[in-house]
Amino acid sequence: MKSPLKITALLLFFALASHAQITRDETVFITKGIPEGEKPPKEKPFFGQFSISIPLRANPYREDNIAYVDDDQNGVNDYEEDKYSALDYILPDGLAVNAGYGVHLKKWLGVSANTGVEYSGTNKLVIAPVFGSVLFTPQLWEETNICLQYGYGYAFALGRGDLGGTYQKYRIGAIKDNEVSLYVEANLYAFPLHEYDRVGTICIGLAFFDFL
């Protein structure tokens, strides 16, 4: 026959075990979803863009920089082109900054209004273009798209009286993650300058996009 002390201890053990089973902690997962009947938020069809580019020009002093003699002043027929850098052929020739805001369709087709300031050192021009543009970004790889853009508007030559004319922009590049684009562009200004009927620039630059 068990002693009363052992029976009491046994009953106490079962009581504590039962209490622990009843009051044990429970892990509750709370998920946040869209309330029933409420539509998910739509993407806004707006986007902004900002670009900065550098006009380029051929180096007019390239022939002066080519050494036709060696260190001993002996004539050299082959001046080893591989010793020269890109700056021996082209030089930066100004700075251009543009910004725009518009609407887009699923980030691959957009229309925007734009303006900016473009400086051409060779032509000694400061130009303020106002133009509309069409942006087309077909997918090239998983996270990379081709960036094609055409702009048309009017360009004002600042500090040159009423000098101005139609403005066209042609841009091609690659855009990464719909955010940053490296591009080459050509800008045409349809007004006369010196002996030319119209002037233009060829630029390389970076563009930054914000699709809302």
Domains of the chain: 46-76+83-211 (2.40.160.20)
Q: What is the pLDDT of residues 22-48, one digit of tens each?
A: 444 455 555 555 566 566 667 789 999
- The pTM (predicted TM-score) of the whole model is 0.71
- At 185, is the secondary structure helix, strand, or coil? strand
Q: What is the pLDDT of residues 119-166, one digit of tens each?
A: 999 889 999 999 999 999 998 888 899 999 999 999 999 999 999 999
| Average pLDDT of the residues in 64-83 | 53
| Nearest partner of 171 among 184, 158, 156, 189, judged by Cα | 184
CA distance 50 to 209: 7
Query: Which of 37-46, 63-72, 203-212 is the least confident region?
Result: 63-72
Residue 10 has pLDDT above 50, yes or no: yes
Q: What is the pLDDT of residues 77-108, one digit of tens each?
A: 454 555 666 667 889 999 999 999 999 999 99
Backbone angles phi, psi at 123, to 5 degrees: -85, -5
pLDDT at 22: 46
pLDDT at 200: 92
| Average pLDDT of the residues in 166-181 | 95
Distance in angstroms between the alpha carbons of the first and the last residue of the chain: 82
Q: Any idea of the CA torsion for 34, 35, 38, 42, to the nearest 10 degrees?
A: -20
